[in-house]
């Protein structure tokens, strides 16, 4: 019997499940590249002469261009078709991975990482829309039931896989293998996507707000550049001027978006969102929380490798207590707490993280460098992970509860973008704090200072939760209203990453 051909609404037949597989592969490639490089610091320093600022750019630069371009990437998919933009993004992401692997110096590696993040910004927003185009009803529920846990696993295995590849030094490739692993995966995914993802024309009436996109990129760059370079250069005047200019840039972007909407054109961000106090507070909460989480995870890895001379593989395994704790906290929060205690789960999470940071502080106090084992800090790291998981599982739902149904697409895209940029800022801030003490040989002091910064961010995040809705938006409602959703792309599923 001849296999049914795709319908205008999507694919039919068993091959549709290959679409899900390709979407998962694309998301995991992003999650791996966001965290897999964390364990490559010493190797990059030895191979390319990367200093502290260079390492922060390699890690945080990817998240910067990814976050700055996510909302634009969603709009491009609306206008030109999600399948087309997915294929272009996947091909560019794979090519950039090859360029990163072949980089002759730290400057070129940073440039290629920035390009890789931009390619990811085109690739990732198309996934949710393509799944909704090809699945519906009970099948769509099954898709999301598979999608979320697999993405969570991708976030967990990043540092572990990176450590395995670097320590194995396969074919003498060292750190370059963490990028080369994307090549066979990307090529196969590209072939499968080109063959089985149905063609569906975009809506050429959708206008792309290029001016708004440029303003966002400039404002983000003006903020992250001084944070990455400031500590190494002694915080000269230009760093403070640049950060002040970034604030003006974001304000100008908000004004430009309002004028674009008032002029009858389509802005990148629905202006009404920025008039909702709970949503704008939520944006700040996202940046605070993920900045602290990603930054602390980086410092943990640097402490193990630079301060305690762990190999890349050992440092990768050293991240497992945090990852497992996060998975446990997320499971408990998602399955029991969020529905029963509402917003209080977002308040309990940072308190548990603070408790974990306090335990870790005292664990660091009695460390003997000569006999140090990762088991010495497992309790504090794992408890902090549980608190982080409690927040991650529920945060997007509570923020999205503050917006109207027709704003969900734009809102989820903005939240995902802020999450990525917040992570980039966290890498810059926490890296600077840690390396400031490392220069004096005080690795434990650097880690402790990072814990102080994280505690401040958690307290600020805890305070912000009181302005969020008391009840979160049910997950099924989030998915149900994103039929056009892929409107702004990268929906809330990205918050499952560790």
Evaluate whether residue 11 is within a structural domain. no
**Which of 44-53, 197-206, 353-362, 385-394 is most confident?**
353-362
In a domain? residue 5: no
User: The CATH number of the domain where 65 resides is what?
Assistant: 1.20.1250.20
- Residue 402 inside a domain? The answer is yes
pLDDT digit string (tens) for 441-450?
Answer: 888 899 999 9
- Would residue 6 count as lying in a domain? no
| Alpha-carbon distance values, 319 to 10, 268, 368, 428 (Å) | 40, 37, 20, 20
Contact 321, 382 (CB under 8 A): yes
* Over residues 418-440, mean pLDDT: 89
Give the confidence band of 71 by pLDDT, cuts at 50, 70, 90: confident
Q: Note whether residue 118 is domain-resident.
A: yes
Range of the domain at 195: 16-496
- Count of domains observed in the chain: 1
Torsion sign across C-alpha atoms 297, 298, 303, 308: positive
Q: Which two tokens stand for residue 471?
A: 């009840």
Residue that is written with structure tokens 């939520």 in the block: 282
Mapped onto helix, strand or coil, the DSSP state of residue 7 is strand
- pLDDT of 320 strictly over 70: yes
Residue 8 lies in a domain: no
> Of residues 168 and 295, which shows the higher confidence score?
295
Report the alpha-carbon distance of residue 277 to residue 467 in Å, rounded. 8
| 2 assigned to some structural domain | no
Dmax (CA) of the chain: 73
Instruction: Specify the higher pLDDT residue, 359 or 498.
Output: 359
Residue 9 lies in a domain: no
Residue (of 32, 101, 113) closest to 66 by Cα position: 113
- With helix as H, strand as E and coil as C, how does 147-172 read? HHHHHHHHHHHHHHHHHHHHHHCHHH
Instruction: Return d(Cα 234, Cα 33) in angstroms, integer.
Output: 30
Overall pTM > 0.85: no
pLDDT, tens digit, for every residue of 126-156? 877 787 777 777 777 677 666 666 666 666 6
């Amino acid at each position: 019997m001849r296999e049914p051909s795709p319908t205008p609404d999507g694919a039919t037949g068993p091959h549709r499940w290959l679409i899900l597989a390709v979407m998962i592969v694309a998301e995991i490639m992003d999650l791996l590249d966001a965290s897999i490089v964390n364990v490559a610091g010493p190797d990059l320093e030895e191979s390319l002469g990367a200093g502290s600022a260079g390492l922060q750019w390699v890690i945080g630069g990817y998240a910067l261009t990814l976050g700055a371009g996510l909302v634009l990437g969603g709009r491009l998919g609306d206008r030109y078709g999600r399948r087309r933009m997915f294929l272009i993004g996947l091909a560019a992401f794979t090519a950039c991975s090859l360029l990163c692997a072949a980089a002759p110096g730290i400057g070129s590696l940073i440039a290629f990482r920035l390009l890789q993040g931009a390619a990811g910004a085109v690739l990732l927003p198309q996934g949710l829309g393509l799944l909704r185009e090809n699945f519906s009803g009970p099948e769509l529920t099954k898709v999301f039931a598979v999608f979320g846990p697999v993405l969570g696993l991708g976030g967990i295995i990043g540092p572990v896989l990176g450590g395995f590849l670097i320590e194995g030094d396969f074919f003498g490739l060292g750190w370059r293998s963490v990028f080369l692993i994307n090549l066979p995966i990307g090529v196969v995914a590209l072939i499968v996507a080109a063959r089985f993802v149905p063609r569906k024309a975009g809506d050429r009436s959708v206008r792309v707000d290029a001016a708004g996109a440029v303003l966002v990129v400039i404002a983000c760059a003006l903020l992250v550049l001084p944070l990455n370079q400031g500590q190494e250069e002694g915080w000269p005047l230009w760093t403070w001027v640049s950060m002040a200019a970034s604030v003006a840039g974001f304000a100008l972007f908000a004004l430009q978006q309002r004028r674009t909407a008032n002029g009858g054109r389509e802005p990148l961000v629905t202006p009404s969102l920025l008039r909702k106090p709970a949503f704008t507070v939520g944006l700040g909460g996202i940046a605070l929380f993920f900045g602290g989480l990603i930054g602390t995870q980086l410092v943990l890895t640097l402490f193990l490798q630079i301060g305690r001379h762990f190999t890349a593989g050992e440092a990768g395994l050293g991240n497992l207590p945090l990852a497992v704790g996060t998975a446990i906290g997320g499971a408990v929060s998602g399955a029991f707490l969020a529905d029963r205690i509402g917003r209080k789960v977002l308040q309990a999470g940072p308190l548990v993280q603070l408790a974990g940071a306090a335990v870790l502080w005292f664990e660091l106090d009695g460390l003997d460098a000569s006999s140090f084992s990762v088991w010495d800090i497992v309790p504090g790291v794992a408890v902090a992970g549980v608190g982080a998981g409690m927040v991650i599982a529920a945060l997007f739902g509570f923020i999205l509860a503050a917006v109207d149904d027709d704003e969900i697409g734009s809102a989820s895209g903005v939240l995902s973008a802020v999450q990525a940029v917040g992570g980039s800022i966290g890498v810059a801030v926490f890296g600077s704090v840690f390396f400031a003490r490392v220069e004096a040989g005080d690795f434990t002091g650097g880690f402790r200072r990072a814990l102080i910064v994280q505690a401040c961010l958690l307290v600020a995040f805890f305070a912000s939760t009181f302005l969020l809705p008391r009840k979160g938006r049910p997950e099924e409602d989030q998915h149900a209203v994103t039929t056009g959703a892929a409107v702004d792309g990268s929906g809330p599923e990205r918050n499952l990453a560790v």
